[in-house]
Amino acid sequence: MVSYNKFLYDEIGNEYERKNLYIKEIVRIKEKIKEADLETGQKLKLELKELIKNKNTHPYNMKLKKFRNEEKIFLKSLRKKKKNFINTLDKSLSYKVKRLEIQLFIAKEKVKFYKAYVEVTYDAELEYKKNKLLKEELPRIIENMVEGKSIIKQAITDRKNIDLNNEKKVKGELREFKREQKEILEEKIGKLKDNRKKGLISKKAETNEIKALKKKYKELINLKSYDSPLKTNKELMESKSHEIKESTKLGMKILNSNIADLRRKIPVELENNRAKLAYFTLPIPGLGQILNGQYGKSFIFLIVSLFIYLIGIPYALGFGNYQGEGIRGLVTLAEGARRVDKSLIFMIEGILAVFFVIISLFLLYFSFRDVLKVERNTLKGIRPYNWFETKSTLREGGFPYISNLPALVVIIFVILVPISTTILLSFTGMDPQHQSKFSWIGIENYKMLFLGEGLAGSVFWLTLVWTIVWTLLATTLAIVIGFTLSLLVNNERVKGKLFFRTVYLLPWAVPAFITIMFFSIMLSQNGAISQLANNLFGLELSVKNNATQTRIALILLQGWLGSSYIFLLSTGVLQAIPSDLYEAAEMDGATTWQKLRRITIPIVLFQTAPLLVGQYVFNFNNFSIIYLFNGGGPFEPSKYGNLAGSSDLLISYIYKLTIENQYQGIGAAITIFVAIAVMFVSFLGYRNSKAFKEERL
């Protein structure tokens, strides 16, 4: 049994009475059935059944059918009238004017026809009001265009009649005028310079006056140039052409906007009461939009269809791959393939194929959702957007999505694909013996790591512990040094603050690799610092050959390198703390330590906590200082094997595993572990910061 709403609605929920008396009667009977007793209800159901059975003979449906037939005849005859009207148009009219004249003629004819059927259907009412609007507004736009074209045409005629001898005379006068004005300008500039030398005016006043004189000179020359009939004529034609273009554009925009308002206020009424179109057109984006009458939008979705069926699906099936076989290649990893085929290429192309499928499914869903939404709105009474309304919506509501689309593409292919490759590599046996061809091994790499087994697993936990110790000590030391220095420099009694601030920023200003290499050389066996320590204190330093000494040196060096950034952050915050807080604390009898603990540290932490979390994360993955200082050494094969040194962090350990020793599978597993750990710790750090809790991030 069919079901209809009693009223039609627009986008903001306004109600409209149905003009379809047949549907209105069905709704009326159904409402009575709900309230009637059993016997009356049975009679009403029979009445409803009879009404539906005699649908075609219902007076309203017969009237509507008559309208549809007469409309077809009218539109057919209108095409003939249009051809005859085109032949009567003045051939000298421009293409745009002719097009508008034809549109005006059609509007006048439609107004006559649809006026008689306004009460029959909302479609006729819309056509009547829309064409009435065209009939009222188009003559003004056409008149403006014709008048403007007439002026331009007259200007072209006048141009041919310009006396060239007089034009030469005018140009000569202009040159003479330029020369005279140039002399006057130079004379005035000279006087200004003399006044400047005498100290009567300032340098700034001199500069401003010279600019004003030059501007006035250009204006006089430009004004004089209009004595030339040719230039005046050219300017007239250019300005009039621009005026016609802009006024026509504005007029049509206003007209289309008014038509759009009519479409929003006049509902559409359908006999259909179920959304079926979206489901039938689901496989072909664009088809549903065409059937909904949204031809401009359909063009966009047809491009989507081309992507899905010419790129997305074929690539997923292996067509167009460099070596791989699409998604199948992601499963097989080139097993049984040619010798030149590489498993890694099959994996990457398989991942790309998966992303293409995901994008294709999303686009299919997006198209389906668009068609379904339009269809459901149409059943309520809301008309589908025309192309003008669609463009307006895209410019307003769709701008953020359109502007972010390139970034989304970059994220998918530059970030997500490499991340996915790393994740999947961690479940493979890619190692020095299986570089070209490797297979899936499940969680064996993770099992090896967590159980501390194998060549790589046994070193993993030792390296992890040192990485955590390094991160906490090096970063905390940098924070303490930077904050302490900022407190000292911010003290009112310290003189030469500019000098100290410059010195304290040098570790950050000088490229880090220079500082690292410098201390690496100075702390070597025969380095200056090692020799100085031996000569002055009798200490025999062997920093590069002693694991403990290397680690202490690295922590101290990073503490100094990182302190500049913390110093800069803390200084900025300290200078922004109101002095009133400290004055109030002093009046309450607070000591220096209490002011530091209760005022300074909380405010600095509140402002810098998120950035300090970032410093811990940075040092957790600080590859450069480890690699440049001692290459991860000193090396202890009995404890760390041949894959790592005693000062290697997880990041440098991963580098040696993958780049130097080609254990990509286990390296990827460690990378995933590091990434998850860093994200988790960062999340905890940010979540527990006061700035994050107060939503100031």
Percentage of the chain beyond pLDDT 70 is 98
In a domain, 486, yes or no: yes
Residues 324 and 449 in one domain: no
**Would you say residue 649 lies in a domain?**
yes
- Predicted local distance difference test score (pLDDT) of residue 61: 93
Q: How much is the pLDDT for 1?
A: 46
Identity of residue 413: F
Give per-residue pLDDT as tens, 453-484.
877 778 899 999 999 999 999 999 999 999 99
Same domain, 482 and 584: yes
Tokens coding 650: 């997880």
What mean pLDDT do residues 668-678 have?
91
Q: Is residue 8 part of a domain?
A: no
Q: Tell me, yes or no, whether 235 lies in a domain.
A: no
Residue 695 has pLDDT above 80, yes or no: no
What percent of the chain is modeled with pLDDT above 90? 45
The number of distinct structural domains making up the chain is: 4
Question: Mean pLDDT across the stretch 195-209?
Answer: 86
361 in the same domain as 390? yes
Q: If you search the block for the tokens 């030398």, which residue do you land on? A: 197
Instruction: Show which of 395, 425, 455 is a domain's final residue.
Output: 425
> Does the structure show a pLDDT above 80 at 693?
no
Instruction: Say whether 16 sits in a helix, a strand or coil.
Output: strand
**pLDDT, mean over the chain:** 88
For the cut 90, the answer to whether the pLDDT of residue 398 exceeds it is: no
Q: How far apart are CA 216 and CA 235, in angstroms?
A: 21
What does pTM read for this prediction?
0.80
User: What's the confidence (pLDDT) of residue 688?
Assistant: 66
Amino acid at 22: Y
Burial of 549 per CB tally in 10 Å (0-12, 13-18, 19+)? middle
The answer to whether residues 318 and 386 belong to one domain is: yes
Residue 391 is part of which domain span?
Answer: 277-425
635: left (phi over 0), alpha (psi -120 to 50) or beta: beta
Same-domain pairing of 75 and 166: no
Place 694 in a pLDDT band, splitting at 50, 70 and 90: low
Residue by residue, what is the 3-state secondary structure of 626-688? Answer: HHHHHCCCCCCHHHHCCCCCCCCCHHHHHHHHHHHCCCHHHHHHHHHHHHHHHHHHHHHHHHH
Q: How far apart are CA 641 and CA 137, in angstroms?
A: 87
pLDDT tops 60 at residue 322: yes
Does residue 2 belong to any structural domain of this protein? no
Under the banding of pLDDT at 50, 70 and 90, the label for residue 697 is very low
Tokens 């955590």 appear where? Answer: 468
| Terminal C-alpha separation, the chain | 57
Q: How many CB atoms lie within 10 A of CB 460?
A: 24
Q: Is residue 454 part of a domain?
A: yes
Residue positions counted in the chain: 697
The residue ranking higher by pLDDT, 606 or 318, is 318
CA distance 604 to 697: 15
For the residues 440-464, what does the mean pLDDT come to? 87
What are the structure tokens assigned to 546, written together?
A: 């002693």
Q: Is the pLDDT of residue 399 over 80?
A: no
Taking the C-alpha atoms of residue 683 and residue 166, their distance in angstroms, rounded to an integer, is 81
Identify the pLDDT of residue 377.
92
Q: What is the pLDDT of residues 287-305, one digit of tens each?
A: 999 998 898 899 999 999 9
Domain identity same for 405 and 337:
yes
Using omega within 30 degrees of 0 as the cis cutoff, is the peptide bond preceding 634 cis? yes
Q: Are residues 329 and 465 in the same domain?
A: no
How far, CA to CA in Å, does 405 sit from each of 303, 359, 369, 624, 632? 16, 13, 19, 35, 42
Residue 281 predicted with pLDDT over 50: yes
Inside any domain, residue 260: no
Answer yes or no: are the C-beta atoms of 610 and 689 closer than 8 Å. Answer: yes
Among candidates 184, 245, 671, which has minimal Cα distance to 445? 671
- pLDDT tens by residue, 404-430: 888 888 888 889 999 999 999 999 999
